[in-house]
Amino acid sequence: MQANSVFHQQYLALQHTKNDYDAMQQFDAHEAAAAAVLTQAITGKFQVRVMYNGVQMELEPYLIFERHDALYVSAFNPHKNRPNDKPRELGHFRVAGLKDIQLADPFTPMAELDRTMPRAEDKLLLAID
């Protein structure tokens, strides 16, 4: 009985991921391919290595959202220099600007990060659980 429950939960999670991926297919091929990798990263809790504006980064993705017909990812950059007294926060990156996206190491999501949409008009497509 318990095995069926676990299987059912996994099935529902995969369906949710498929539905999110299908919704993202309205974007151009680069954004759709990037969204597919980011979807894997968010659902599996993996960091991603990316090039963004010519800079190599490792990001911990938390959200994918749509703003004005463009895809964005909210992610934590663990290597960003920040003052010790400044709270950790998510950065928001336009998916079209991400290049060479690769899955990297697993990470443990931080509960203290604000995971709300950056703007009221943003449309959430996928969030880390």
CB proximity list for 38: less than 8 A, separation 6 or greater: 48, 61, 64, 73, 95, 101, 126
**pTM of the predicted model, to two decimals?**
0.77
Domain ranges of the chain: 2-127
Going residue by residue through the chain, which has 129 residues, state the pLDDT in tens, using 9 for 90 and above.
444 455 545 545 555 555 555 555 556 788 889 999 999 999 999 999 999 989 999 999 999 999 998 999 999 999 988 788 788 899 999 999 999 999 999 999 998 888 899 999 999 999 998
Question: Which amino acid, residue 83?
Answer: P
Task: State the Cα–Cα distance between residues 50 and 43, nearest whole angstrom.
Answer: 18
